Amino acid sequence: MSRANRRPASALDAGLGLLARREHSVRELGAKLAMRGYPSGEVETALEALRGRGLLSDERFADVFLRSRVERGQGALKIRAQLMRRGVRTELIEAALNGAEVDWDQRAQAARRRRFGGEPPAGRSQQARQARFLRGRGFSPGQVARALAVDNAL
């Protein structure tokens, strides 16, 4: 039997397998189980069982996700949007962001330097290019301005 044809007997077993690989949000895991053809009632029962055992937690998912994205050089705006798309409640997202103790200005400066080097932007077009990059990474307009101003002052 090929690997593609093997399917765990229950949504709970499939959910455990997915959680063994990485953290998932409740909505994300439910969607994956539904895509694999498990009936909605079985999916809900599996999600409740996993939450009850402490194996599935949106709070833990938000914290782990936040840390991984900060290490990738992403800003709070992008991380917030990604967590919302994964079904994490707004209050959990805000709690994770507030509890992270991240210096977003420093992260924006580091992302700019990693991408463009230590030299300040030469001219308006370079400054605009770097600002677009930082905004795309999810940094706020203020963080972008401060990152470019600090590096211009050096």
Q: What residue ranges do the domains of the chain occupy?
A: 9-56, 57-102, 104-153
* Percent of the chain that is helix, strand, coil (3-state, to 5): 70, 0, 30
Q: What's the CATH number for 9-56?
A: 1.10.10.10
What was the pLDDT predicted at 6? 61
Residues with Cβ within 8 Å of 47's Cβ and at least 6 positions away in sequence, in order, are 15, 26, 29, 30, 33, 56
Burial class (CB in 10 A: 0-12, 13-18, 19+), 9: exposed
* Tokens read off for 97: 């962001």
The CATH number of 104-153, from 1.10.10, 1.10.3470, 1.20.120, 2.120.10, is 1.10.10
What was the pLDDT predicted at 150? 65
* Tokens read off for 87: 């079904």
Query: Is there a common fold for 9-56 and 57-102?
Result: yes
Q: Could you give the C-alpha distances from 79 to 4, 72, 75, in angstroms and in order?
A: 33, 11, 6
Q: Is the pLDDT of residue 142 over 60?
A: yes
What was the pLDDT predicted at 154? 47
- Dihedral angle sign, alpha carbons of residues 132, 138, 141, 145: negative
Which has the higher per-residue pLDDT, 63 or 150?
A: 63
The CATH number of 57-102, from 1.10.4160, 3.30.70, 3.40.50, 1.10.10, is 1.10.10
